[in-house]
Each structure stands twice: as C-alpha cells, then as structure tokens.
Amino acid sequence: MKKEVVILNGERNVSLTVYLLDVGGEFRTITRRPLVLVLPGGGYQFCSEREADPVALSYLKAGYHAAVLRYSVSAHSQWPNPLQDYEQAMEFLKEKAREWNIYADRIAVIGFSAGGHLAAAAATMSKNRPAAAILGYAVAGADVKGCSPTAPDTVSAVDRRTPPCFLFHTRNDNVVPVMNSIKFMEALTEHDITFESHIYSYGPHGFSTCDTSVQGQSTRRSRRVPNWVPDSVGWLREVFGDFDDQAEGLLEPEVKAHLSSDDEEFLSVDCTMGHVMGNPRGAELMEAALAWIRERTTASKSPLLQGEEMPPEMKKMVDRMLVRDALGFVQAGEDMLQSLDAQLRQIPSTRAER
C-alpha cells in the first residue's frame, strides 16, 4: 500500500491523504480499484480524526482505494469553500486515475455529520458528482444553520442527477436529529433515486465506525450500529459491481441509479406505468396487452383489466409502478412480458401528459 499527502490549499490548511492499494501480481484480475473519499465531521469547526483514517481503513480492507479530505473549517468554513475543496479533490483524483489505478467513474463519497452535509452537497449540487454517496448521521436540511450559517440546504437540491445513496443514523441522535436523514430520503424517493437506509434504535452522535477503537464499550448504543460498515461495503458492491475473479474489471452493477428506466433512451417494461401510458405509442401497446390479458383472465377484478376509471389515489399508485410489476399483479406470464418489452424497446422514450 502507498500513502500520499497532497496539500490542496496551504492558506486554508486543506489536504488530501490518499491510500492506494496494490493491483496486479497476486491480485491477478484487479488492475484498477474504485475509491472512497472520506469527509470527516466536526461542525465545520474541525475535521474529526475519529471519522477520518479509521473510516478509510475500513474501505481499504474491503479492497477500495481510500482518501481523506481535510477541508476548510473554522475561520475558513464560509460557503462555498468546503465545496470548492471537494471539487478540487475530485478533479485531482480523476487526473491521477490512470497513474493511481483508480476507476474515475467509481468514486464514492462518505461524510459524517457536517462532513455528511458536504457529502450531500457533493451529491446534489457539485460539478463533479460522486458515483455514490454514503451519509452518516448527516446534517441535511432541517438543522443546516446549526453547524454553518452559510451552508445550503441539500434536501431541496436533490434532483434526478443525484447518485445512489446509503444513509445511516440513530433514532435518538440529540445533535443531528434523525429527521435530517428522513427528509433526505423523502427527497430521494420523490426523484426516484436508489437508496438504502439504516436507522438504528439508539446510539450517540458521532460514533464513526462504532468499534471499540473509536467508541468505548460503555457507550450506550445498539449492538447493531457497527453493522453499517459491512452493509455499506455490500451496498457499494451492488452499485459499483464487485471485483470479477475471472477477468479484468468489475462485474455489472446489480442496482441502477434509478428504480425505473424512465430516463433511458427507449421504453421498456422497467419504465413506470405513468411514463409508458404518457407516450402515445406506448399507451397503444399497453392497451393491446391489457386487452389480450383480459380475454384470458375472466376471474380478475383488477381495475387494470376491468377498464374501470380508477380513483385518483389508485391511479397515482399505478402510475408509479413499473410495467413489469403492474402486469405481474394481473398474472401476465413471462412470455408476455418479454414480448411487450421487445416492442416497447422500439419506441423512443418521450412522454406526453395524460
């Protein structure tokens, strides 16, 4: 392993500590690695050492390169200084990607508390958005002014370009209330962003990895809190793709950035019903498919098959469902789904208002 410390801004005491694992040789098919960029907390007054290198080491153990950004704090924390530090760090890492064997398109950011706010800002409003974001008891929208009067609300900044997110928090956090994470999850849901969340029953603020090297055994917290570390590693492997032991590179990701394929170039059964029915040619195909199923399913009482005018709330629910799932409820077979999917994939994914 190689360690490098890079001074990004001497005047503001901004540095990037990079830990690079070996590739090739005994690692055979691993010629590059994803990287996790760690943003420690500290209320924008300091960068917590408990949330710096100990966190980086957890991801190094999992096979990822890691870096710790000690960004602008205290007298230099005026926004957007911290975000500019992040942008500079990301640009530097991408420039070094070939030399340091980094997947430039597989850089995740992890932040804690105020560092979680910076990670959320990176995910929602930066030029160099990460490929994934891990937010630990992060300040988001509800209490952002409590740690920095100039820091922006990240909840309202969530959009379709926000990457997949992993969030963890404790229910009784009395420094950063859990509603910060809940409001952020609501925004992710509204914009169809993939996420995973772990809200543990009880535990203190600032627990970092929550093993005994950073958190005393006498601390009152759920024994399951440390599980966020392996859970986040498993989630990253789903989002980035795991290492392939048969050939160079990574396996295909198991999880997409969005739950639906509404943003894809062509329609498919993985688009939402509302999106497909908002496309004239897509609606025509769906109506034909439903008519075909209706002729062969006399016992079903589903409004989809009965041709009934659905109540507004039910229509809203159906519009959010994937075509694949909606047709599953009316017992469409796999052959039917494959046939419909092949036809939908011939239709450009444009949408008109229903």
Q: pLDDT tens digits for 172-197?
A: 999 999 999 999 999 999 999 999 99
Q: Is 14 helix (H, G, I), strand (E, B) or coil?
A: strand
The answer on pLDDT for 198 being more than 70 is: yes
Please tell me whether residue 156 adopts helix, strand or coil conformation.
Answer: helix
Q: Are strands 165-170 and 195-200 parallel, antiparallel or unpaired?
A: parallel
Phi and psi, residue 76, nearest 5°: -105, 10
Among 54-58, 138-142, 250-254, which is the least confidently predicted range?
138-142
Q: Between residues 314 and 101, which one has the greater pLDDT?
A: 101
Per-residue pLDDT at 299: 46
Give tens-digit pLDDT for 99-131: 999 999 999 999 999 999 999 999 999 999 999
pLDDT for residue 43 is more than 70? yes
- Among 335, 337, 317, residue whose Cα is nearest residue 327: 337
Instruction: State yes or no: pLDDT of 329 exceeds 80.
Output: no
On whether the CB atoms of residues 250 and 63 are closer than 8 A, the answer is no
Distances (CA, A) of 324 to 276, 314, 328: 11, 17, 6
Asked if pLDDT for residue 3 goes beyond 90, the answer is: yes
**Which value, in Å, is the radius of gyration of the alpha carbons in the chain?**
23
Q: What is the pLDDT of residue 353?
A: 43
Residue 143 has pLDDT above 70, yes or no: no
pTM across the whole model: 0.88
pLDDT at 201: 96
Is the confidence at residue 304, as pLDDT, over 70? no
Average the pLDDT over 299-309 and give the result. Answer: 57
Taking 60 as the threshold, does the pLDDT of residue 270 lie above it? yes
- What's the pLDDT score for residue 121? 97
Phi-psi region of 268 (alpha: psi -120 to 50; beta: other; left: phi over 0): beta
pLDDT 10s digits, 54-95: 999 999 999 999 999 999 999 999 999 999 999 999 999 999
Per-residue pLDDT at 52 exceeds 90: yes
Strands (E), 46-180: 65-70, 102-112, 132-136, 165-170
**Which of 51, 44, 76 lies closest to 66 in space, CA to CA?**
51
